[in-house]
Amino acid sequence: MRELDQHSITEEVLRRFEQCENPRLKHILGGLVRHLHDFVREEAITEAEWVYAIDFLTRTGHICDDKRQEFILLSDTLGVSTLVDAINNPPAPGATQSTVLGPFFVEAAPLAEQDADIDPGEAGGGVPLYVDVSVTDPAGKPVGGATVDVWHSDDKGFYDVQREGGELARRARFVTNDEGRLRFRTTTPAAYPIPDDGPVGEMILQTRRHPMRPAHVHFLVNAKGYEPLITHVFIDGDKYLDSDVVFGVKDDLVAKVEKRTDPTMPDGEKATGPWHLMTYEFRVKPGEGAAPKPLGTRVTEDA
């Protein structure tokens, strides 16, 4: 066809995908074309608006590197990451819910022993946090030997990979003991803004949204014979729980963090002042237990 208009163009584009031998690819591209064309027609997108959209996506790509993934951030702030997670990981009876991975996952997190202190104190302060969590099946049976990746921000709201020249900190890979327990010391994380100096920050500012995430600790749990679990544990009482900029909060993932003044922490280490205690039970559902391939992750071993 040569005489294409706003009504006939869609079917012609779809026709040109008819020889695609991959049925899933053909189906996805067809759906994308139909929805995108319908959006352009329904909103009567102007040429200037479409040029701005292309420029926005171009700038989003240009700001990505091995330590920052602006496209994941865009997906998160539009709720797409949470939507994809919800479709692929529906709630299972008795199992802990998953949530978004976030853009600061590092695949080569250092191995750590039980009761290790994973914060070297480079941020210069903060309230100590003792984390005591367990991994069980939905019925409460302990899951020993589970690999658990942990990572979180410092008390100023920054992740290690955001600090120029900083070493990996407040992240580690643990293995649960025979009781399914995992215990370590760190610093209480703070609520923080997502990186807002790029195109995503521009979108947030122009739409009068705030850029804040409530304080949380990330966990990625892998155990043989169980489905992988990517999730957060949020700190109860944080003022951003109901307006998380990336839509990641679920009631099941909010934990009370106790303020303690005991002179010693549970591992016997002397406390130098007030400290916090976080407890949580991760309930993983039976499955093949294959390691997850987080969508879009590009943070590398030398990040």
Tell me the pLDDT tens digit for each residue of 233-285: 999 999 999 999 999 999 999 999 999 999 999 999 999 899 999 999 999 99
Average pLDDT over residues 108-114: 92
Task: Give the pLDDT score at 121.
Answer: 67
Q: How far apart are CA 67 and CA 31, in angstroms?
A: 32
Question: Do residues 194 and 75 touch, judged by C-beta distance below 8 A?
Answer: no
> Is residue 300 pLDDT above 60, yes or no?
no
Task: Give the pLDDT score at 124.
Answer: 55
Q: How far apart are CA 249 and CA 216, in angstroms?
A: 10
> Is residue 296 pLDDT above 80, yes or no?
no
The tens digit of pLDDT for each residue in 146-201 reads 999 999 999 999 898 887 766 788 999 999 999 999 999 999 999 999 989 999 99
> Is residue 55 pLDDT above 90, yes or no?
yes
Q: How far apart are CA 138 and CA 281, in angstroms?
A: 10
Burial of 130 (0-12, 13-18, 19+ CB in 10 A): buried
| pLDDT tier at 228, thresholds 50, 70, 90 | very high
Task: Give the pLDDT score at 288.
Answer: 75
Domain locations in the chain? 9-45, 62-283
Length of the chain, in residues: 303
The tens digit of pLDDT for each residue in 215-224 reads 999 999 999 9
Q: What is the mean pLDDT of the chain?
A: 91
Average pLDDT over residues 290-299: 44
Task: Give the pLDDT score at 68.
Answer: 82
Q: Rg (Cα) of the chain, in Å, rounded?
A: 22
| pLDDT tier at 2, thresholds 50, 70, 90 | confident
Q: How far apart are CA 153 and CA 234, in angstroms?
A: 12
| pLDDT tier at 69, thresholds 50, 70, 90 | confident
| pLDDT tier at 107, thresholds 50, 70, 90 | confident
| pLDDT tier at 122, thresholds 50, 70, 90 | low
Q: Which of 98-107, 119-128, 147-156 has the highest mean pLDDT?
A: 147-156
How many Cβ atoms sit within 10 Å of the Cβ of residue 83?
Answer: 12
Assigned CATH for 62-283? 2.60.130.10
pTM to 2 decimals? Answer: 0.85
